Amino acid sequence: MTNKIAVLPGDGIGPEIVNEAIKVLECLRDDFGFAMDIDHGLVGGAAYDASGSPLPEATLSLAKAADAILLGAVGGYQWEHLDIAVRPEKGLLGLRAELELFSNLRPAILYKQLASASTLKEGVVAGLDIMIVRELTGGIYFGQPRGIRTLENGERQGFNTLIYRESEIERIAHSAFKIAMKRDKRVCSVDKANVLECTELWREVMERVAKSYPEVTLSHMYVDNAAMQLVRAPKQFDVMVTTNMFGDILSDCAAMLTGSIGMLPSASLDASGKGMYEPIHGSAPDIAGKNVANPLATILSVAMMLRYSLNEAALADRVETAVGSVLDQGLRTADIYTDDSQKVSTSEMGAAVVAALKV
Ligand code: NAD
């Protein structure tokens, strides 16, 4: 079967880093029999400039027809003055909503070669490999009613609603358990069930879904303790699953444990496992066009795509091993450079990964 991949480079460093990821995909096609068909589309500021919309109809159709989507990044100074409805970021949010990408996977992996980049002690983080599964399309960020109202005494009151249906909890639970089956088979569900009824239900549904995955061990943790444990002893976690807002906060905290924004991939999946894959960083307009950006987060996003949407775990392992191998060789882009390493450009890093793949 030919894998249909929609490639949306976006803005800023997006095209440069996506270019290197495509070289990796082409190597998998030419040397390892990976059948693929790549189609390019515009998204974000580039799409707005060309068509007046950050998510043109043609891009949406392309994304809908694909088996998986690879995205660079969107945004830049030149579009900051635009009305919020047509800002580049709307392209990204539109894709997530239109494709119902409710399951956000954010790994926090610290390659042992980069352990000194973390603000935490090396012993605490070296070898870190956590997968945070964040519910992305529900919870307090979307719940109604919401707003700011004026009370009878004239005082203003802000309000939002934390709300989850059982079916929404069930589908994110299945997502987390299925991922755990491909890893160390441990899921920690993070909630605040001692205070919030909504997450009491969350916990109950997690327990129910867990029965379908007898090989996976489920544990529960209150979010305040989870935040503490993430910086105290992060290696205790395998898969963490949590609500939209808790996941937003905990995944940034976990990402920072690794200290290197240019290294972290992410995925957003729908119910059938189709997904959009992108680095967690933005379009880095300050370094765009200079051939200095780190392409490894995007290349590792390709590995996630192979594993989670295209059922090619062996190829995913191969890509991740190749990334480990270039780090072993001491090759570093500017963002992860240290005195004892060798500084390389974006394209040199991409070429080194391709060379390592072929070994
Ligand atoms: P950013 O992640 O783009 O950059 C933050 C810092 O990290 C910058 O100094 C940048 O040079 C550096 N950096 C980021 N990626 C790098 C890489 N691969 N290699 C080396 N250095 C890298 O965040 P920002 O500066 O807050 O935002 C810039 C633009 O990106 C804004 O328009 C913002 O809205 C957008 N943004 C987009 C996404 C996305 O597309 N998913 C995410 C975050 C921000």
pLDDT digits 0-9 by tens, 40-75: 999 999 999 999 999 999 999 999 999 999 999 999
Q: Is residue 111 part of a domain?
A: no
CATH number of the structural domain spanning residue 55:
3.40.718.10
- The answer on 306 and 346 residing in a single domain is yes
Residues lower than pLDDT 50 in the chain: none
Q: Is residue 100 part of a domain?
A: yes
Domain interval for residue 194: 129-257
Q: What is the pLDDT of residue 256?
A: 84
Q: Point out the ligand 1 atom lying closest to the alpha carbon of residue 13.
A: 18
Q: What is the pLDDT of residue 127?
A: 87
Total of domains in the chain: 2
Q: Is residue 67 part of a domain?
A: yes
- The answer on 64 and 138 residing in a single domain is no
Task: Output the residue whose Cα is nearest ligand 1's atom 44.
Answer: 282
Q: What is the pLDDT of residue 211?
A: 98
- The answer on 85 and 160 residing in a single domain is no
Q: What is the pLDDT of residue 182?
A: 87
CA of 214 to the centre of ligand 1 (A): 41
Alpha helical stretches, state H, the chain: 14-32, 45-51, 57-65, 88-98, 122-125, 166-181, 197-210, 223-232, 244-258, 296-308, 313-328, 346-358
Task: Output the residue whose Cα is nearest ligand 1's atom 33.
Answer: 75
Question: What burial class does residue 331 get, using C-beta atoms within 10 Å of its C-beta: 0-12 exposed, 13-18 middle, 19+ buried?
Answer: buried
Q: Point out the ligand 1 atom lying closest to the alpha carbon of residue 278.
A: 41
Last residue of a domain, one of 219, 236, 257: 257
Cβ of residue 350 lying under 6 Å from some atom of ligand 1: no
- The answer on 140 and 91 residing in a single domain is no
Q: Is residue 118 part of a domain?
A: no
CA of 283 to the centre of ligand 1 (A): 5
Q: Point out the ligand 1 atom lying closest to the alpha carbon of residue 75.
A: 32
Q: Is residue 124 part of a domain?
A: no
Mutation test residue for ligand 1: of 55, 74, 104, 283, the one with most atoms within 8 Å of CB: 283
